[in-house]
């Protein structure tokens, strides 16, 4: 049975993550495994400037506030899962049942390291999380670390909850291993989509993208090719416009093709796309 790991924080963004995970789960009859990390005050303080710049008694007060917030987030995360499953008539069970319907589970871990999150992600078929700045005490680079190291697809939620993932899917293509892995990981969704647009940015017509569309069509995907001439809007701007033009429900792309050292020098097109496209994005490194 397909398993989708959803990372929730107990905040206002949980609902969008629930809806994004459900959009992926419905066509696959998947099990939703919601995980909340309770980050203790000592760990959260590493990323909180209010603690780092506090003096004297202010340090203790800041740590107490962080611990109170962590307990509140934990309770809210559990409540949010229960309320969501009750509204959507989703059975909560520790172990998936027959694989014919969407089920869900909730668990909490304390001070989970990024290595532990990567371990959990590697045991699931998809990971769903928000792209907004972390406020529950996790490391700011949690998103990038998961995408780079979990070995599978990560779906980033948008600002608004998606309707479905099986309407129109935009595949951002270039000849690279991570792009091929992204398409392979997304195939269960692509095969059920009404329309799949394979797009690439190129100065001339690219036979490779047409060949890929034909190959996917032969595999049962409703695929078509689109070649976009480059302009001054940059890659992220052009892909954002392409997503708007076809009203894409989901983007699929390879991520972080450059090393971190090269990204420091040349910048990251993945980060630019994440900032510039407010739609769900499936990423594979």
63 in any annotated domain: yes
Residue 55 within a domain: yes
Are residues 48 and 102 both part of a single domain? yes
Claim to verify: residue 58 and residue 88 sit in the same structural domain: yes
**Residue 163 forms part of a structural domain:** no
Q: Are residues 97 and 212 in the same domain?
A: no
Asked if the structure places residue 199 within a domain, the reply is yes
Per-residue model confidence (pLDDT) at position 41: 65
Q: Are residues 52 and 143 in the same domain?
A: yes
pLDDT of residue 222: 97
Domain housing 175: 168-284
Considering the domain architecture, whether residues 29 and 126 belong to the same structural domain is answered as yes
Question: Quick one: tokens of 116?
Answer: 């532990």
Both 150 and 181 in one domain: the answer is no
The pLDDT, as a whole number, for residue 78 is 96
Kindly state whether residues 92 and 145 are assigned to the same domain. Answer: yes
Asked whether residue 162 is assigned to any structural domain, the reply reads: no
Last residue in a domain, options 92, 125, 156: 156
Which tens digits make up the pLDDT trace of 127-150?
999 986 655 567 778 888 899 999
126 and 244 in a single domain? The answer is no
Helix boundaries (H) for the chain: 14-25, 41-44, 49-52, 57-88, 114-122, 142-149, 177-190, 207-218, 234-246, 260-266, 269-276
257-268 tens-digit pLDDT:
655 433 433 336
Q: Are residues 223 and 268 in the same domain?
A: yes
Other Cβ atoms less than 10 A from the Cβ of 192: the count is: 17
Q: Can you give the C-alpha Rg of the chain in angstroms?
A: 20
- Angle at which helices 207-218 and 177-190 pack, to 10 degrees? 30
Looking at the structure, do residues 216 and 90 belong to the same domain, yes or no? Answer: no
- Give the residue from 99, 123, 156 where a domain finishes: 156
Domain membership flag for residue 261:
yes
Nearest-angstrom CA–CA distance, 270 and 273:
5
Rounded to whole angstroms, the Cα distance separating 210 from 94 reads 44
* Residues of the chain below pLDDT 50: 49, 52-56, 260-267
Q: Pull the structure tokens for residue 241.
A: 């416009």
Asked if residue 190 belongs to a domain, the reply is: yes
Residues 42 and 149 occupy one common structural domain: yes
pLDDT reported for residue 262: 39
The pLDDT of residue 261 is 39
161, part of any domain: no
Is residue 19 located within the same domain as residue 68? yes
Note whether 23 and 155 are within 8 A (CB): no
Contacts for 210 with CB less than 8 Å, ≥ 6 apart:
225
Q: Please state, as a whole number, how many other Cβ atoms lie within 10 Å of the Cβ of residue 268.
A: 18
CATH number of the domain to which 94 belongs: 3.40.50.620
Of 122, 156, 190, the residue at which a domain comes to its end is 156
Number of domains observed in the structure of the chain:
2
């Amino acid at each position: 049975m397909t398993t989708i790991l959803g990372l929730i924080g107990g905040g206002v963004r949980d609902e969008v993550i629930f809806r994004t995970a459900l959009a992926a789960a419905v066509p696959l009859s998947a099990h939703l495994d919601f995980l909340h990390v309770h980050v203790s005050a000592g760990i959260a303080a590493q990323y909180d400037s209010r603690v780092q710049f506090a003096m004297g008694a202010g340090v203790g007060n800041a740590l107490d506030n962080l611990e109170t917030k962590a307990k509140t987030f934990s309770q809210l995360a559990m409540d949010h899962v229960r309320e969501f499953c009750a509204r959507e008539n989703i059975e909560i069970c520790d172990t998936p049942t027959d694989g014919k319907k969407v089920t869900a589970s909730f668990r909490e871990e304390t001070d989970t390291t990024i290595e532990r999150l990567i371990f959990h992600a590697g045991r699931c078929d998809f990971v769903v999380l928000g792209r907004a700045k972390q406020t529950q005490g996790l490391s700011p680079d949690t998103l990038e670390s998961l995408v780079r190291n979990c070995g599978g697809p990560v779906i980033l939620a948008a600002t608004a909850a998606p309707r479905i993932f099986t309407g129109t899917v935009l595949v951002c293509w270039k000849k690279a291993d991570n792009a091929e892995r992204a398409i392979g990981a997304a195939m269960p969704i692509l095969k059920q989509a009404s329309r799949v647009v394979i797009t690439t940015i190129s100065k001339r017509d690219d036979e490779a993208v047409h060949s890929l569309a034909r190959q996917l069509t032969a595999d049962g995907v409703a695929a078509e090719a689109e070649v976009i001439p480059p302009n001054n809007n940059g890659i992220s701007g052009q892909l954002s416009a392409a997503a708007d033009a076809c009203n894409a429900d989901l983007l699929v792309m390879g991520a972080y093709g450059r090393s971190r050292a090269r990204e420091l020098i040349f910048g990251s097109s993945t980060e630019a796309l994440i900032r510039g496209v407010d739609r769900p994005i499936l990423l594979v490194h």
